[in-house]
Amino acid sequence: MLSMGGDQVEEAAAHAAKVLRTAVGRDWSVKAAGLDGSCLKTAEHVAGCLVAYAGQLTGRATDTWVPFEIAFDEGSGPGDAISVIESTAGLLSAVVRTTPPGVRGFHPYPSGSADAVGFAAMGVAELLLHTYDIAQALGVDAQPPADLCEAVLARIFPQVTPARAPEDQWATLLWATGRVSLAGRPKVESWRWHNALWVPAGRLVLREVSPAAAADLAAGGTGGLTWIEGGPYEGTRRAAEMVTKAYASGVHRPEWGMFALVRAEDEVAVGGMGFHGPPDEEGVAEVGYDLAPAARGRGYASEALASLSAWALPRPGVSALLALIEPENTPSQAVATRAGYTRTPDRENLHAYLRKA
């Protein structure tokens, strides 16, 4: 799996420090490339982001930013700035490593919160991208490790078609953030990264599975989750494979892929649920779900499907949700009925259940 956590924050910080130290003797009062602030001010911004991300997690912020920020001491120079970046990156990496899996902190994009992995990915992005901005202005090279770029893209840029070759990962990240043009891709005028969505569902939380986690699940891994005995089951792995293929081909759409069903009480994953893609031209999105055998018969799937449906149906462009179920799979049919779906004419020898907006 393309890992993202404290180790990656430290790796990105080491890269930033190495690059920036080659330019310590240059004029950091000039504007960073593509930005309004100076190189020194941009370095201060990076440090501020890193410590703010740590603060969001340790403060357990739920609806706004924790109201503090940092500033360099008066008279600080480039060497001081690099030291502060290293120090604040160390704070973020330590917090990421020690934050429990179920903890989220406030972040506005896109749904108001992010977990430790999300804040780690954002921290790595801040380090790589703004080091590039400073390096461009000061005339030094800033090529980072390809695996860091790939991990950032697969975690918080799931809407971006991934690069096929390792050497193209950095250019793709720069393109995705509007910094460069790439042949065959339209110019990016505005952008935002995407933190995985979490949907409360009674005893469960539906956690959006990133392309990086989906690839690990499809390959036989855990996707970074702790699973109930017998999980993840075969349907969950097939769904993860669908996400992986959609991402690789550039048709994956955030929030319209796969969610892991995680028990709120103990952080144990019990199954998977989600969509076979975004709504079609008629506004219909197909849903699917799968529980590990040890989790069945407890009402988990009904709770989760009702909650996911309640989240999806008010979304723009959605007219209905569709579940297609094998005729012999009466437990899944009962799940759909309990979640508010109504039987409609069969489709391709499958029982069809529909819930309208």
Q: What does pTM read for this prediction?
A: 0.95
How do beta strands 342-347 and 320-325 pair? unpaired
- Whether the CB-CB separation of 270 and 307 falls below 8 Å is answered with no
Residue 55 is part of a domain; what is its CATH number? 1.20.120.450
Examine the pLDDT at 93 and tell me if it is beyond 80: yes
Segment 157-179 shows an average pLDDT of 96
pLDDT of residue 1: 60
Instruction: Select from 143, 176, 209 the last residue of a domain.
Output: 176
Residue 316 is part of a domain; what is its CATH number? 3.40.630.30
pLDDT of residue 183: 92
- Give me the chain's average pLDDT, please: 96
- Whether the CB-CB separation of 287 and 242 falls below 8 Å is answered with no
Boundaries of domain holding 322? 198-356
pLDDT of residue 356: 97
On whether both 154 and 269 belong to a single domain, the answer is no
- Whether 138 is in a domain gets the answer yes
On whether both 144 and 246 belong to a single domain, the answer is no
3-state DSSP assignment of residue 265: coil
Angstrom distance (rounded) from CA 114 to CA 62: 10
pLDDT of residue 116: 97
pLDDT higher at 318 or 1: 318
On whether both 217 and 154 belong to a single domain, the answer is no
Q: Percentage of residues in the chain with pLDDT exceeding 70?
A: 100
Question: Phi and psi (nearest 5°) for 191?
Answer: -155, 155
- Whether the CB-CB separation of 48 and 37 falls below 8 Å is answered with no
Angstrom distance (rounded) from CA 42 to CA 62: 27
Segment 249-258 shows an average pLDDT of 96
- Whether the CB-CB separation of 197 and 261 falls below 8 Å is answered with no
On whether both 242 and 341 belong to a single domain, the answer is yes
On whether both 87 and 207 belong to a single domain, the answer is no
pLDDT of residue 321: 98
- Whether 184 is in a domain gets the answer no
Confidence of residue 284 (pLDDT cuts 50, 70, 90): very high
Examine the pLDDT at 227 and tell me if it is beyond 70: yes
Examine the pLDDT at 343 and tell me if it is beyond 90: yes
- Whether the CB-CB separation of 131 and 141 falls below 8 Å is answered with no
- Whether 230 is in a domain gets the answer yes
Q: Percentage of residues in the chain with pLDDT exceeding 90?
A: 97
Q: How far apart are the first and last CA of the chain?
A: 37
On whether both 162 and 129 belong to a single domain, the answer is yes
- Whether the CB-CB separation of 237 and 285 falls below 8 Å is answered with no
- Whether the CB-CB separation of 209 and 217 falls below 8 Å is answered with yes
Q: Report angle CA 282, 336, 252 to the nearest 5 degrees.
A: 45
pLDDT of residue 2: 80
Count structural domains, the chain. Answer: 2
Angstrom distance (rounded) from CA 299 to CA 191: 40
- Whether 249 is in a domain gets the answer yes
Segment 336-353 shows an average pLDDT of 97
Segment 108-119 shows an average pLDDT of 95
